[in-house]
Amino acid sequence: MQQEAVANRPSRREVLGASAGTLGLAATAAGQGAGKAPEVVIPPLTRQKRLGTPLPKPNGLNLIVIIADTTRWDHLGAYGSRRVKTPNRDRLAADGVVFENAYADGLPTIPARRVYHSGRTILHEKRPWWRPLDPEDVTLAEVLKKAGFTTGLVVDTYHHFKPDMNFHRGYDSWQWIRGQETDLWISGPRDGFDPGRHMPEHLRNPNYLRNMTQYMMNSSMRQGEDDYYCAQSCSAAMKWLEQNARQKPFFLWLDMFDPHEPWDAPPRFQKMYRQDYGYERYLFGYGVRHQDIRESDYAILRDLYAAEVTFSDHCIGRLLDKIDQLKLRDDTVVVFSTDHGTHLGELGCVQKTPGLLNSCVARLPLIVRHPDKKYAGKRVEGFVSAVDYMPTFLALLGIREFPGLVGKDFWALAGSEGKQNYERVFIGFGNFAAVRDKKWHYFQNFRGEDRGKGPALYDLEADPGETKNVIADHPEVVAGRRALLEEKFQVRLPPPEKA
C-alpha cells in the first residue's frame, strides 16, 4: 500500500500543469480548422493525485472556524450596528481583522458548505447545487488531517446529517446536535402541541403548523438556556477543545444553525428588544406564506431575529472565553463567518429570497483573529469570495498552493494597504445570478421565468442601500454585466425585455 501511494504521487510538474484541468478547462494549441493542430486537453487532477500531493510542514498554528447560519453583517456592532447587541463578536473584531466586502459564492445552506469545504466554485454547475460533496472533492479537513492536524466537527445545522450527506469527511471526530428546525428527531406524541397558540392567525397554514409542530416536539425537553441548540453546540465545542487542545496542531469547525429560523431565543434575550410580542412564545419559521406576512409584522420579526443574533453572540462569547482559559490565543487562528444573511422587510421580502440578491443576503460578515497582534483592529475593503476560505485557511497554517482550488488567499489583503484580489464578485442563489463591483450591482434570473425583484441594476455609490433600480438609465452597463454573468455561469441569457 505504501509503494502504491508513492507511485501515484504526482510530480511538481504534474501538479502545476494539471491544476487548470481541475476546473474542467481545455488548453487549446490552435483552432480546429483545416491544417490546424488538434485541441490539447489537460486531464484533471484526480482526488487520489490531489491527496498524494506533498504538503509542506505546517507552521504550528491551530484553526477554529465558527459559522453562525443566517447572520446579517449589518446586525453586528463591528459592522456598524448600534441597535443589535453583539459584544463578543465585537471584541473578536477588535482583536482581529474585519473584512468589509466578503460575499457568498453559491447559496443557500448546503451549496455554501460545499464551497467552504471543497474550495471550489459551484456557479457554473448544471446539476442541482443542493447536494452532498462530490466523490472527487478533497475537503479542508482531509488536507489538514493529512498534514498531521487533529480535526473535529461540531454541528447543529441539521442539513449536514440528512441521509447521504457527507460533510464529516476527513474529521477525526464529529458531533451532531439534533433537533433544529424540522429535523426529524422526535416523532411524537404530536397531539400535545398546538403551534397555533404561538403565531397570529393570518400567518397560519397547514405546512407552517406542521413545521412548527415538529420544532415544538424537538424542543419540548428544554429546561433552560443551556438546552438551546446553539448553546449545546458551543458547549460541545468547548468540551472538544478541553479534550484535544494538547493534540496540536488542531482544527475545529463549529457550525451553528442559529440565528436561522425558527426565531425562538430565550425570553431574556427577546426582552432586550421588546417586552411584549403578543404571545408568551412567538414562533416564526419556515412554512409561512410570504403573501400572508403583513407590513405590520415586520417590526416584531426584526426584534425576534435581533434576539437570536444576540443569543448566538452570548454562546459564542462562552467559547471565546474557553479559548482564553485554555491559553490558546497565542497559537490559534479564530474565524467567524456565516453562509448568508436574511431579508427583514426589504422591498417586501422576509427570510432569504433568491429573487432579491442584495447585500443583506449575499454579504458575509468575516472576522479573523490571528495570534500576531499587528493585525488587531485592521479593516479590509477588498473583495473576498467564499471560494477564498479554504485556500486562505490552508495558507494561514503554512500550506500554500494546494492544487485544484480556485480561490485566492484573502489574508494577503490584511498585510497590504489597498491590495485587491478581485475587481468584482459573483453570487448565485437558486435561479438568480448577481455580479457586484464597487460601483454597480446587477442581478437577474439566469434560468427560469420568475423575475423576482429583477432584473435590477443598483448604483452603489449613489444608493448603497440598493433601493432604486436604475436599469433603464444604463443600458450599456447592463449589457456588460449580462456578458459577465454569461461567462461566469456558462449560460446564454435570454434577450432583455423591451421597455
- CATH code, 316: 3.40.720.10
Q: Which residues contact 206 (CB under 8 A, 6 or more apart)?
A: none
Quote the domain boundaries for residue 399. 62-424
Question: 455: cis peptide before it, omega within 30°?
Answer: yes
Same domain, 479 and 366: no
Distance between CA atoms of 126 and 454, rounded to whole angstroms?
22
Same domain, 84 and 25: no
What is the structure's pLDDT at 43?
67
Question: 249: cis peptide before it, omega within 30°?
Answer: yes
**Boundary-marking domain end, from 369, 398, 424:** 424
Comparing CA positions, the residue from 150, 325, 371, 369 lying closest to residue 249 is 150
**E-state strands within 313-460:** 332-337, 363-369, 378-385, 425-429, 432-436, 440-445, 456-459
Which H or E run includes 254? strand 250-256
Q: How many domains does the chain have?
A: 3
Same domain, 345 and 480: no
Q: Are the C-beta atoms of residues 133 and 114 closer than 8 Å to each other?
A: yes
Helix/strand/coil (H, E, C) string of 164-195? CCCCCCCCCEEEECCCCCCCCCCCCCHHHCCH
Same domain, 27 and 85: no
What is the structure's pLDDT at 38?
55
Same domain, 186 and 290: yes
Distance between CA atoms of 192 and 163, rounded to whole angstroms?
28
What is the structure's pLDDT at 42?
57
Same domain, 177 and 315: yes
Same domain, 91 and 156: yes
475: left (phi over 0), alpha (psi -120 to 50) or beta: alpha
User: Is residue 57, in this structure, part of any structural domain at all?
Assistant: no
Q: Which cell numbers hold the place of 316? A: 459564542
User: Is residue 322, in this structure, part of any structural domain at all?
Assistant: yes
Distance between CA atoms of 123 and 244, rounded to whole angstroms?
37
Q: Which residues contact 4 (CB under 8 A, 6 or more apart)?
A: none
Residue 378 DSSP label: E
User: Is residue 385, in this structure, part of any structural domain at all?
Assistant: yes
What is the structure's pLDDT at 163?
84
Tally Cβ neighbours within 10 Å of residue 484: 16
Same domain, 291 and 350: yes
Same domain, 248 and 371: yes
Q: Which residues pair with 102 in a beta bridge?
A: 364, 384
What is the structure's pLDDT at 407?
96
CA 318 to chain CA centroid, Å, is 22
Distance between CA atoms of 451 and 335, rounded to whole angstroms?
36
User: Is residue 90, in this structure, part of any structural domain at all?
Assistant: yes
CA-CA distances (angstroms) from residue 447 to 355, 451, 458, 490?
12, 10, 21, 11
Q: Are the C-beta atoms of residues 415 and 378 closer than 8 Å to each other?
A: no
What's the CA angle centered on 190, arms 185 and 196, to 5 degrees?
110
Same domain, 107 and 122: yes
Same domain, 260 and 149: yes
User: Is residue 218, in this structure, part of any structural domain at all?
Assistant: yes
User: Is residue 56, in this structure, part of any structural domain at all?
Assistant: no
What is the structure's pLDDT at 416?
84
Same domain, 420 and 435: no
Q: Which residues pair with 170 in a beta bridge?
A: none
User: Is residue 113, in this structure, part of any structural domain at all?
Assistant: yes
Q: Which cell numbers hold the place of 317? A: 462569547
Distance between CA atoms of 342 and 362, rounded to whole angstroms?
9
Q: Which residues pair with 86 in a beta bridge?
A: none
User: Is residue 498, in this structure, part of any structural domain at all?
Assistant: no
Q: Which cell numbers hold the place of 159? A: 442539513
Q: Which residues contact 322 (CB under 8 A, 6 or more apart)?
A: 238, 241, 242
The residue type found at 140 is: L
Distance between CA atoms of 334 and 316, rounded to whole angstroms?
12
Here the CATH number for the domain that contains residue 470 is 3.30.1120.10
- What are phi and psi for residue 254, nearest 5 degrees? -110, 120
Q: Which residues contact 171 (CB under 8 A, 6 or more apart)?
A: 141, 145, 151, 152, 153, 253
Q: Would you say how long the chain is, in residues? A: 499
Q: Which cell numbers hold the place of 320? A: 471565546
**Distinct helix (H) and strand (E) counts, the chain:** 14, 13
Distance between CA atoms of 165 and 167, rounded to whole angstroms?
6
CA-CA distances (angstroms) from residue 117 to 230, 251, 492?
21, 13, 29
Q: What is the pLDDT along the chain (499 residues), one digit of tens a residue?
A: 333 333 334 444 344 344 444 444 333 333 444 445 556 555 678 999 999 999 999 999 999 999 999 999 999 999 999 999 999 999 999 999 999 999 999 999 999 999 999 999 999 999 999 999 999 999 999 999 999 999 999 999 999 998 889 999 999 999 999 999 999 999 989 999 999 999 999 999 999 999 999 999 999 999 999 999 999 999 999 999 999 999 999 999 999 999 999 999 999 999 999 999 999 999 999 999 999 999 999 999 999 999 999 999 999 999 999 999 999 999 999 999 999 999 999 999 999 999 999 999 999 999 999 999 999 999 999 999 999 999 999 999 999 989 999 999 999 999 887 789 999 999 999 999 999 999 999 999 999 899 999 999 999 999 999 999 999 999 999 999 999 999 999 999 988 775 4
Q: Are the C-beta atoms of residues 262 and 182 closer than 8 Å to each other?
A: no
Q: Are the C-beta atoms of residues 157 and 168 closer than 8 Å to each other?
A: no
Comparing CA positions, the residue from 459, 456, 461 lying closest to residue 485 is 456
CA-CA distances (angstroms) from residue 483 to 318, 491, 497?
48, 10, 16
